Amino acid sequence: MLIQMTMSSECELAVVTGASTGIGAATAHELARRGFHVLAGVRRDRDADAIRAPGIEPLIVDITDPDHVQTLATRVYEDPQRRRLRALVNNAGVGVNVPVETYPLDEWRCLFEVNLFGHIAVTQALLPALIRAQGRVVNISSVGGRIAMPTYGPYAATKFSLEAVSDALRRELAPSGVRVVVVEPGAIKTEMPGRAIATAADLASRMTATQRQRYGALVHAINAQTDAHSGRGLPPQAAADVIARAVTVRHPRTRYTVGREAALLALVRVLPDRMLDRMLAAALRPYRANAMAMSASATSR
């Protein structure tokens, strides 16, 4: 039997960003259950009230707001019980499915502010504490951090970037004993797919007639596929268990996957690009056929 060596939490601190819902909320509860004092970043007072529990202390943290990041850092460095910071879980994220051509440039920048620069800001602010504690940075990427499906360009660009930053950081921090771990979930049943579909519908309504002709059916198909995948997705607890393992196991791996789609990642390493293109197109075909039938019947009405 494989015995996983885990480190004792001895009531250390853990920071989880984006803890209002989904994977972040489940992770905050799981780490608290394992004895950590969790500083749970949320953006609204009502989310703070909802997540507050034994071992979970909510903090208002929009990771794109430098003042919020500073307040979080001050809370960590001035902990009244002088507890060590064992882990920073960079989890906050925004999903969007939109063709590269149609996504306004200022919205690309906003997406990167949350999914990449916000994580860098929080990491920079907390690194001295993590180095002192020989703690962990756990970055929540995605299967989309290694495969960019059509309409996933902006989201995947942020996640590919987060993967690159994680690799560099892991190598930079190895001598100081800080471990940097990437977690790559596949479909998890959270608010994100619904939020991404709503954003995609809004963006689609702003497409020009030519863009709608070029991408309309694709966007419909991807939304239907996203909806179907998330319906079959794993519960957030499955991701929380893996993240908690990345935080507590004595010798963490550099990457953990969660969910069925993780199998795709093994294929990416061995398949030529064109073959992967064909596989992804084939997986989308049933949803494309439905989308085309729907748009044909809408036009004929």
Ligand X SMILES: NC(=O)c1ccc[n+]([C@@H]2O[C@H](COP(=O)([O-])OP(=O)(O)OC[C@H]3O[C@@H](n4cnc5c(N)ncnc54)[C@H](OP(=O)(O)O)[C@@H]3O)[C@@H](O)[C@H]2O)c1
Residue number, 9 or 27, with CB nearest to ligand X:
27
* Binding range to ligand X, per CB under 6 A, among 20-28, 213-221, 244-252, 284-292: 20-28
∠ CA 140-82-52, rounded to 5° = 55
Instruction: Please state, in angstroms and rounded to a whole number, the distance separating the CA atoms of residues 166 and 174.
Output: 12
Where in 45-64 is the site for ligand X (CB under 6 A)? 61-64
* List 123, 142, 166, 225, residue binding ligand X (CB under 6 A): 142
Q: Are strands 136-140 and 85-90 parallel, antiparallel or unpaired?
A: parallel
Examine residue 24 and tell whether it contacts ligand X (CB under 6 A): yes
Contact indicator for 195, 95 with CB cutoff of 8 Å: yes
Examine residue 30 and tell whether it contacts ligand X (CB under 6 A): no
* List 9, 13, 18, 48, residue binding ligand X (CB under 6 A): 18
Binding mask 180-219 for ligand X (x = CB under 6 A): -----x-xx-xxxx-x------------------------
Helices in 39-78 by DSSP H: which ranges? 45-51, 66-77
Examine residue 69 and tell whether it contacts ligand X (CB under 6 A): no
Examine residue 237 and tell whether it contacts ligand X (CB under 6 A): no
Instruction: Please state, in angstroms and rounded to a whole number, the distance separating the CA atoms of residues 3 and 179.
Output: 21
Where in 95-114 is the site for ligand X (CB under 6 A)? 95, 114
Find the catalytic residue in 152, 155, 215, 287. Answer: 155
Instruction: Give the CA distances from residue 277 to residues 261, 265, 272, in Å, rounded to whole numbers and listed in that order.
Output: 16, 14, 9
Q: Is position 155 annotated as part of the catalytic site?
A: yes
Residue 182 exposed, middle or buried by CB count within 10 Å (0-12, 13-18, 19+): buried
Q: Hey, what are 221's tokens? A: 């198909």
Where do contacts with ligand X occur on this chain (CB under 6 A)? Answer: 17-18, 20-24, 41, 43, 61-64, 91-95, 114, 118, 140, 142, 185, 187-188, 190-193, 195, 233
Q: Which residues carry out catalysis?
A: 155
